[in-house]
Homo-oligomer: A and B are copies of this chain.
Amino acid sequence: MSGNMTFIGGLPVPADHCITSKDNPAVKLYLKLSSQKKERQRYGLFVLEGLRIVEDAVQAGNVEKLFFTEDNFIAFSGEHDLSDIMDRVFIISPEIAKKISLTETTQGVFAVCRIMDCAPVFTENGKYVVLYGLQDPGNVGTIIRTADALGIDGIFMCGSCDLYNPKTLRSTMGSVFRMPVMIINNDDELFSMLKENEVKTMAAVIDADAVKITDIRPEGKQAVFIGNEGNGLSRETADRCDIKVTIPMHGNINSLNAAMAAGILMWEISRDKN
Contacts and interface: CB of A to CB of B under 8 A. Distances in A.
A270 interface: yes
A51 B150 CA distance: 37
B260 A248 contact: no
B273 A149 contact: no
A272 B234 CA distance: 30
A69 interface: no
The contact size tier of chain A is 20 to 34
The complex is assembled from copies of this chain, and their number is 2
A142 interface: yes
A173 B151 CA distance: 30
Interface stretch (A23-31, A160-168, A219-227, A249-257): A249-257
Contact of A259 (B248, B260, B267): B260
A149 B263 contact: no
A251 B214 contact: no
A83 interface: no
A49 interface: no
A118 interface: no
A146 interface: yes
A178 interface: yes
A209 to B, nearest CB: 16
Contacts of A147: 251
A274 B246 CA distance: 11
Contacts of A253: 149
A201 interface: no
B173 A255 contact: yes
A65 to B, nearest CB: 26
Interface string A232-274: 0000000000000001111111111101100110010011011
Contacts of A175: 252, 255
B151 A271 contact: no
A149 B249 CA distance: 6
Closest 3 CB pairs of A and B: A151-B250, A149-B255, A248-B274
Given A148-B251, A149-B249, 15 more contacts: A142-B257, A146-B257, A146-B260, A148-B252, A151-B249, A151-B251, A152-B251, A173-B254, A214-B271, A247-B274, A249-B274, A250-B274, A260-B263, A263-B263, A263-B264
25 contacts: A142-B257, A142-B260, A145-B255, A145-B257, A146-B255, A146-B257, A148-B251, A148-B252, A148-B255, A149-B249, A149-B252, A149-B254, A149-B255, A150-B250, A150-B251, A151-B250, A151-B251, A152-B251, A173-B254, A173-B255, A248-B274, A249-B274, A250-B274, A259-B260, A264-B264
